Structure 1
Amino acid sequence: MVLHRLVSDTDALRQAWEISPLHSRDLGGFDDVFGLDLAEDLIVNRGLRIPYIRLMNNGGYVPASRFTHRTGTGAGQADSVADPHAVLREVERGATVVLRGLVRYSPEVADFCAQLSKELGLFTSAGAYLTPANSRGAGPHYDPMSVLVRQVHGVKHWRLQAPPVQWPRTLPAPREQYDTPVIAELDLHPGESLYIPRGVVHDAWTTDSESVHITFSGDTPPMWADVLHELVDQAAAAEPALRETFPWRFADAPDAVAGQAKERLALLRAFLDTVDTDELAADIVERHATLPDPAPRGRLTTALTHTRAPEPPR
């Protein structure tokens, strides 16, 4: 199991899921999965490109033109490649380095996420955040999915506020302001983690210490609203009246619109009454509980040496 490396009490996480934050301590080291040395190697030696590396400073993105360049020659040219010297200059100015989609280029993180996905029953990915001392990266915001933050180096201060909307489906507007109550405030040290439910506003910054943390999250989770939208589409396909347009000059006849609305809602209810909930549950499980195939590591040699039978002459 790997979940115990992210939370000290998995039962507590189950109870807190999408409901309340959870702070875990005494989780031990994490350098075998991700740490400062790996982060530096990725930034300096791996030639990361946008969007897998971004820089943020005090709530906004640093323009990519300030830390990327074109590299290579001829057919080997590549645009938007991170220039390590420029990245480090921006970090010295207070920028946070954001490493996105780590599962695509860090085998250590990919293997961890593959196991975590099995244990949680949902696909998980990971991103890392490297913040210099006395700096702030993203600023206050919320996410449309739950996240698990694992501190691996230094210290970061976190402030959590109650959700402005419960269980949001989309990202908030940039630099949106929040006046909801503060529900938690804490320092996160190496060997500690913080579970942040979907929609909880969070802000984090460093003071005297730099900080490196890795965040694990899934895609925006499937919701009952998505299932109901699909059922409405099925009802519309089966009932022509649900595909009818509004009557001519409908703005002049609100009573007629109300009458038609009542009839259409009755048709929709009748259709929903025919839905077999056992079949619906089986369909939900089949579509949303199936994890993507893991990367085919270790199979390249087999693929290269596989001998195909020659095709017969025509």
Structure 2
Amino acid sequence: MTDYSFADLVGDEKEFFAEYFNKKPLLRKNALKDPRGILSLRRLDEMVQLEIIRPPYLRANLKGAGVPDKGFTQTVTVQGTDLTDAIVPEKVYELFRAGATIVWSSLNHLDASLRSFTRVISDRFGAKTDCVAFLTPAGKQGFSPHHDPVDLFIVQTEGTKRWRLWNPAEQRAGEAASYTPEQLGEPVIDVLLEPGDVLYLPYDTPHAAAAEELASVHLSIMVRPRMWKDLLKQTVDELVRDPEFNRFPYIGESRDSATEDLFTEKVRTLAARLTAVEPAAELDRLAQLGRRMPGNSTGTTFQTTARLDALEPDAPMRRTDAVVEFGANQEGRVQVTVNGHRIAVPAPVAETLAGLTAGQQLAAADVFPGVPAERATKTAQGLARIGLLEVAA
């Protein structure tokens, strides 16, 4: 699949965030040059045939109503374990031929290339994304006019689909809702989407879509940028991790005034720490949290762990950004806590680690000064396996 950038989806990024984000829909015709490389009918056929696809990853909607799972699943036995909801491809095809829209939810959980595609958006927003595919038969409308409580990026990959969009209301609750045609009036956008076209819908944007002459495949990439209340809660959660806030107070009817005074003191302490928060660093931290939410993550742990097995003394290592706590030196050994692991390391190793900043490099043989290179390299391997060091190249 072609690698796309966020600008491929929205055009000029500054214009997008100034004029469209959280304000009004955006239409970009012929924005993506290889839409079938993102998702095609062929790949949807392949996925239906995979025994691992089960509800709720696959659903069917016929005549505006969801089809019960039992209408297209069966029980199969895998290595002695019964799966009661395995997809029956023939029944899914029957539903599609009868006019049902087939919906694949959270495809970024199942397909690495789609995970990479959606991560282009999650990286920009610092928020969780989810990728849903809709296959609608020619001439059918999948769902009645409605709005969703998330921002949507619509990518047409095969066939055509007519979309009607209305501007979101001035006051938005961030909850799903349906409409009758009479409630909406004339749409602000009425367009036939073709392969490569992209739509952006701010949350709570009313919309309706129907396939026309051709069966339609489109992706809806859902992104929920966290509201201020979400971000502030995560900041407070981080601040109250301090042991100072760990004690259990009694707050029942027979509490004394000292408890109320202590509550006031804790509120003032928290307020002072909130005031002292450095905004740029905290927003960067919150954005990174969003990028690591389920459905967004990526990693190469199997590959990097296998590389450690063949680590050479001159291999460049670097300190990760993992939070590390160093204990006191007790008879030449220092207790180190990182990523939930607590180990005791020789004092020279602890001194080496304490002197490294995140990203700083050194050779594997230099991790444990004063010992043979082979022993120092083994130490570097162990520290890498718990996430304190990593291979730099």
Structure-1-length-normalised TM-score: 0.75
Aligned: 1:295 with 2:306: no
From the superposition, tell whether residues 26 and 8 of structure 1 become closer, same or farther in structure 2 (CA, over 3 Å). farther
Q: Is the 8 A contact 2:231 2:286 kept in 1?
A: no
User: d(CA) in 1 for partners of 2:85 and 2:220?
Assistant: 24
* Structure 1 unaligned spans of 5+: 238-242, 246-267, 310-314
Instruction: State which structure, 1 or 2, has the greater radius of gyration over its C-alpha atoms.
Output: 2
Shift of 1:304: 11
Matched residue, 1:22: 26
Shift of 1:193: 0.9
Q: Is the 8 A contact 1:166 1:199 kept in 2?
A: no
From the superposition, tell whether residues 33 and 164 of structure 1 become closer, same or farther in structure 2 (CA, over 3 Å). same
Q: Is the 8 A contact 1:57 1:136 kept in 2?
A: no
Q: Is the 8 A contact 2:125 2:287 kept in 1?
A: no
Shift of 1:93: 1.1
Q: Is the 8 A contact 1:146 1:217 kept in 2?
A: yes
Shift of 1:191: 1.4
Matched residue, 1:198: 203
Shift of 1:170: 2.8
SS of the aligned residue for 1:32 comes to helix
From the superposition, tell whether residues 121 and 134 of structure 1 become closer, same or farther in structure 2 (CA, over 3 Å). same
More moved, 8-17 vs 79-88: 8-17
Matched residue, 1:6: 9
SS of the aligned residue for 1:295 comes to coil
User: d(CA) in 2 for partners of 1:232 and 1:3?
Assistant: 31
* Structure 2 unaligned spans of 5+: 240-244, 246-250, 254-266, 311-377, 380-393
Matched residue, 1:55: 60
Q: Is the 8 A contact 2:168 2:202 kept in 1?
A: no
Q: Is the 8 A contact 2:9 2:198 kept in 1?
A: yes
The structure whose RCO (Cα within 8 Å, separation 6+) is larger is 1
Shift of 1:215: 1.5
Matched residue, 1:312: none
Shift of 1:298: 6.8
From the superposition, tell whether residues 137 and 297 of structure 1 become closer, same or farther in structure 2 (CA, over 3 Å). farther
Matched residue, 2:372: none
Aligned: 1:146 with 2:151: yes
1:82 to 73, 78, 87: 87
Q: Is the 8 A contact 2:175 2:204 kept in 1?
A: no
CA RMSD across the alignment: 3.7
Matched residue, 1:251: none
CA deviations on 1:176-195 (whole Å, 9 max, x unpaired) are: 54713432211111111111
Shift of 1:272: 6.8
User: d(CA) in 2 for partners of 1:297 and 1:99?
Assistant: 26
Q: Is the 8 A contact 1:157 1:187 kept in 2?
A: yes
From the superposition, tell whether residues 297 and 232 of structure 1 become closer, same or farther in structure 2 (CA, over 3 Å). closer
Matched residue, 1:286: 285
CA deviations on 1:266-308 (whole Å, 9 max, x unpaired) are: xx99x97995174466545423443217333472684599599
Shift of 1:60: 2.1
User: d(CA) in 1 for partners of 2:71 and 2:112?
Assistant: 29
SS of the aligned residue for 1:287 comes to helix
SS of the aligned residue for 1:158 comes to strand
SS of the aligned residue for 1:163 comes to coil
Superposition pairs of residues 126-165 of structure 1, within 5 angstroms: 126-164=131-169
Given residue 276 of structure 1, which amino acid in structure 2 is its aligned partner?
Answer: T
2:98 to 82, 89, 93: 93
From the superposition, tell whether residues 281 and 177 of structure 1 become closer, same or farther in structure 2 (CA, over 3 Å). farther
Between Structure 1 and Structure 2, the one with more strand by share is 2
SS of the aligned residue for 1:81 comes to strand
Name the % identity: 25
User: d(CA) in 2 for partners of 1:212 and 1:299?
Assistant: 34
CA deviations on 1:109-150 (whole Å, 9 max, x unpaired) are: 112223432234333221110000111112211111111101
User: d(CA) in 2 for partners of 1:101 and 1:129?
Assistant: 11
SS of the aligned residue for 1:113 comes to helix
Q: Is the 8 A contact 1:165 1:199 kept in 2?
A: no
Shift of 1:12: 3.5
Matched residue, 2:42: 37
From the superposition, tell whether residues 170 and 296 of structure 1 become closer, same or farther in structure 2 (CA, over 3 Å). same
- What is the number of residues matched between the two proteins? 281
Shift of 1:204: 0.5
User: d(CA) in 2 for partners of 1:297 and 1:95?
Assistant: 39
Q: Is the 8 A contact 2:127 2:226 kept in 1?
A: no
